[in-house]
Structure 1
Amino acid sequence: MKKKLKIDLPEFVEIGDNKLKNLFKILLFHKLKFKEILLLGDSKTFLLGGETIASIFKKEKIKILKHLISNSDEENVENIKKFIKEEKPDLVIGFGGGKVLDVAKLAAGKYKTKFISIPTILSNDGIASPVSVIKDKNNIPISHITKAPHGVIVDINIIKKAPIRHIRAGVGDLISNLSAVFDARLAQSKGIEKTDSMALTLAEAGPISLLQFKNKSIKNNEFLLCLAHGLIKSGFAMCTVGSSRPASGSEHKISHSIDYLYSPRKTLHGEQVGIGTIFTMSLQKNEYLDKVKKLYAQIEFPQNLKHLGITEDEFIEVIYNVKNIRPERYTILEDKKLTPKEIKKIIEETGL
């Protein structure tokens, strides 16, 4: 008898204005009990709102422990794990970007401590997923499956303060799902692997909604709400299958290959997968490619290799190195096995 997959979804999601100032009430409404909280952030996010969060709980006579996360690496994860083991907080709150949330999520998951994800930027779908991306000793980002956040709280007032570059990166990460879902269905059509169809539908729902959204002003409230909902749906899709498969295909392999060959990187994850998506969607003959390029132009998302800091020849090397990245995950790149000439042709045709 086939073992039933345990679905580990967040218990609640709150998205809207002024969520931060109502944080205590939100947690009580969702029946969370706590006497001691570990608040994790970085030097910037504590100034942005971390200290406000701390003061809210102090007024309610809740013991608040604060800890700075300096990087999303193994050392920081181990430090937070040790802190959680010693202090045994009832709740861990991560307030920050991907760096803070990934470390907090993985460390809290180790001791099954309830974790509340409060993003300050919408740069990737890790805000609600069971995946933490942590740099190893060689500074290479490695994905780890852990427990999804117990709750996700997105305050649009906070998100609007984020650098536009990070919001664009979130768009790139969400749009990349269209490439990833195509790859998953391709693998399924060839009998190589099977991914739950509902998870794939959920993963592509967010980017399709974003493409259909009329007002593409990047700091428009409704646009940010659409982006937030899409990234959370993407996280949920990963939760339902227990892996990143619905949101990570050939375009993520390209990004990981870039990280491996040309680390350290100055570009954001969402920028790398977003640009990689143009290449993979062209190869897939993906029906959404033209709409994606139009959206990218409207929000001034980077669409060339120059932004990635790599040359055409280096990109060819990136594509050839993809075979070493998650070889068990079949994508359009394994299906086509491109020659250097074919890679250059796609670069030329797409304007990369």
Structure 2
Amino acid sequence: MNQHTSFDLPICLAVEEDAFFHSDEIIKRYIPDIIGQKTLVISEEFLIGIYREKITDISHDFGNAEILAMKDASFDEAVAIAKKVCVEDIKVIIGIGGGRVLDTAKYAAHISKAVYICMPTSLSNDSLASPFSVLETYGKTRKTIECNIPTAIIVDTNMIINAPETQTLSGIGDTIAKHTALYDWKLAASKGSARIDDFAYALSRMSYDSVYHCDEKNMKSRVFIRILSRALVMGGLAMEIAGSSRPCSGSEHLFAHAIEEYYTDVKISHGIAVALGSIGACIFQKQDPTSMIEFFSAHGLDINPQSYGITEDMFADIWKKARTVRAGRVTILDDIKHDRAQLNEIYSRMVEGK
């Protein structure tokens, strides 16, 4: 390891057909030392009901591990799970689910110093491999908290194929957002408020390029799922290496965070909100968004704000609030005025999808 840097990498990344049914064999190949160690499987009640056979099979493969249905995706719940892990001498945590489950399990493993195996049931964002967990703190207020990345990531392509399409679209949106995020990172560095790590930058760019330039457009194909899985993991590793979320998060994410904090009634996934934010961010950065809009259209990702209940007034207000949701994070929003006429024009363009 370079003496001037310190970061962790997963020991295992497996993207395979029916991987959940032979996850113990995968772990034996990469981390044989943890086989036989006391294990806790964490998921949500409704997911346990939907995937009972697979989750039970995983529990059996890991020594009849206890299956825990977490109550919510909160800091308090993660701490409670970590306490259980420590008190009961549990050495391995397996998180099975979407972002809520994976972030809670990841932080519980971080606190308790347990080995963490990440097994996503969807590819909705790059948090599965990132050094951060987004957890509820007070009420529904959420905070992004640093933590360790997973020791192993196991993606079952059959599971992802059968996941709701909106979740895969969300993962696509989160990946394509790196285009505007990297611009903002370079802008911040030019102003002395951030430092560019060339390796992290390259990884994030590779993540974006691998999906944006992918010849396979069928989101249900194993080829596409493999590419998207690796792209999301590359994004997480870029953040781990950079020591911040800057390689993957810029003004487009501030737009999404503003929705999450101020417009909680808007029903939109994080990744799709980020995709919407990317269009505006692209225009603010004086980049032509046409090819991005065409990409989203080709994959069936709806960028019309009206589809999510976002009116023209709300759209303008979300961008106004986006300037304040992450104090100190320099982006293109610091260099432009809040121009209502321009925002109305962007909104109309997105409604028309061109």
TM-score normalised over the length of structure 1: 0.93
Alignment partner of 2:118: what SS? strand
Does residue 55 of the first structure (1) align with residue 69 of the second (2)? no
Instruction: Tell me if the contact between 1:178 and 1:204 (Cα under 8 Å) persists in the aligned partners.
Output: yes
The aligned counterpart of 1:40 is 42
Q: Distance in 2 between matches of 1:330 and 1:144?
A: 20
Instruction: Tell me if the contact between 2:305 and 2:351 (Cα under 8 Å) persists in the aligned partners.
Output: no
Alignment partner of 2:153: what SS? strand
Q: Percent of counterpart pairs with the same letter?
A: 30
Deviation at 1:189, TM superposition (A): 2.5
The 5 Å alignment of 1:1-352 reads 4-30=4-30, 31-33=32-34, 34-49=36-51, 51-58=53-60, 62-286=63-287, 289-351=289-351
Q: Distance in 1 between matches of 2:238 and 2:206?
A: 10
Whichever residue aligns with residue 210 of structure 1, its letter is: V
Q: Distance in 1 between matches of 2:301 and 2:346?
A: 19
Q: Distance in 2 between matches of 1:47 and 1:6?
A: 40
Does 196-205 or 99-108 show the bigger shift? Answer: 196-205
Whichever residue aligns with residue 12 of structure 1, its letter is: C
Whichever residue aligns with residue 172 of structure 2, its letter is: V
Alignment partner of 1:199: what SS? helix
How many residue pairs match? The answer is: 348
Identify if the C-alpha distance between structure 1 residues 223 and 191 changes in structure 2 by more than 3 Å, giving closer, same or farther.
same
Does 176-185 or 302-311 show the bigger shift? Answer: 302-311
Q: Any idea what the Cα deviations from partners look like across 1:41-73, whole Å, max 9, x if unmatched?
A: 11233244454344355367x241110024212
Q: Distance in 2 between matches of 1:217 and 1:58?
A: 34
Q: Any idea what the Cα deviations from partners look like across 1:115-157, whole Å, max 9, x if unmatched?
A: 0000000000011111111122231232111010011111101
Deviation at 1:21, TM superposition (A): 1.7
Alignment partner of 1:32: what SS? helix
Does 74-83 or 174-183 show the bigger shift? Answer: 74-83
Deviation at 1:350, TM superposition (A): 4.3
Deviation at 1:341, TM superposition (A): 2.2
Q: Distance in 1 between matches of 2:270 and 2:350?
A: 20
Whichever residue aligns with residue 89 of structure 1, its letter is: I
Alignment partner of 1:67: what SS? strand
Alignment partner of 1:115: what SS? strand
Does 114-123 or 332-341 show the bigger shift? Answer: 332-341
Q: Distance in 2 between matches of 1:40 and 1:307?
A: 34
Whichever residue aligns with residue 93 of structure 2, its letter is: V
Alignment partner of 1:237: what SS? helix
Does 229-238 or 301-310 show the bigger shift? Answer: 301-310
Whichever residue aligns with residue 220 of structure 2, its letter is: K
Does 185-194 or 246-255 show the bigger shift? Answer: 185-194
Whichever residue aligns with residue 213 of structure 1, its letter is: C
Alignment partner of 2:20: what SS? coil
Instruction: Tell me if the contact between 2:305 and 2:350 (Cα under 8 Å) persists in the aligned partners.
Output: no
Deviation at 1:324, TM superposition (A): 1.9
TM-score normalised over the length of structure 2: 0.92
Q: Distance in 2 between matches of 1:99 and 1:56?
A: 20
Whichever residue aligns with residue 123 of structure 1, its letter is: S
Instruction: Tell me if the contact between 1:140 and 1:260 (Cα under 8 Å) persists in the aligned partners.
Output: yes
Q: Distance in 2 between matches of 1:32 and 1:264?
A: 46
Deviation at 1:265, TM superposition (A): 4.3
Alignment RMSD (CA, Å): 1.9
Uncovered stretches (5+) of structure 2, i.e. residues with no partner: none
Alignment partner of 2:145: what SS? strand
Q: Distance in 2 between matches of 1:322 and 1:329?
A: 11
Instruction: Tell me if the contact between 1:211 and 1:291 (Cα under 8 Å) persists in the aligned partners.
Output: no
Deviation at 1:239, TM superposition (A): 0.9
